[in-house]
Amino acid sequence: MLHSPACTRDFATSLVGRSGRVTGLLRNGTYAMVELDGEPGELPGGIRRWPVHWDDLELSQPAPRPESADAYRLGLSGSGRDAVHHAVPQGRETGLCGQRAYPLPVMGWSLSFSATATRACPACIH
């Protein structure tokens, strides 16, 4: 919980380890609005929705699908340290978000997209 807003960090000890789902984006996608699972009475501070930085989230795949997580290759837009990671379906040159992304071939094979990467494109994760 190093990157999230102070209001979220204040409740870090009771937020870490909880599950929920991302319901929206804040500040141009810098933060995720996370809606916690659970009963209102046992939520931290009685609050269901929290702004959390992507680097503080442990994202799981939305649901197991026939095409495995490996179906998406890692594609980049931008360059150097600012490059954004996009999930690129096989045989395409654009990420799931619609942005053009070039593959990053490593010795003939492609890296898989990881939704937990620091620079992962928020739009591609959804």
User: Would you tell me which residues interact with Zn ion (CB under 5 A)?
Assistant: 86, 95, 97, 121, 123-124
User: Cβ distance 125 to 118 under 8 Å?
Assistant: no
* Nearer Cβ to Zn ion (15/73): 73
Locate all alpha helices (DSSP H) within 5-58, ordered by sequence. Answer: 6-9, 12-15
Give me the least distance between CB of 81 and Zn ion, in Å please.
17
Give me the least distance between CB of 106 and Zn ion, in Å please.
20
39 by DSSP, 3-state: which?
A: coil
Give me the least distance between CB of 76 and Zn ion, in Å please.
10
* Nearer Cβ to Zn ion (71/97): 97
* Nearer Cβ to Zn ion (43/121): 121
Give me the least distance between CB of 121 and Zn ion, in Å please.
3
Percentages helix, strand, coil for the chain (3-state, rounded to 5) are 20, 30, 45
The helix (H) or strand (E) run that includes residue 30 is none
Q: Which residue is nearest to Zn ion (CB)?
A: 121
User: Cβ distance 75 to 87 under 8 Å?
Assistant: yes
* Nearer Cβ to Zn ion (33/123): 123
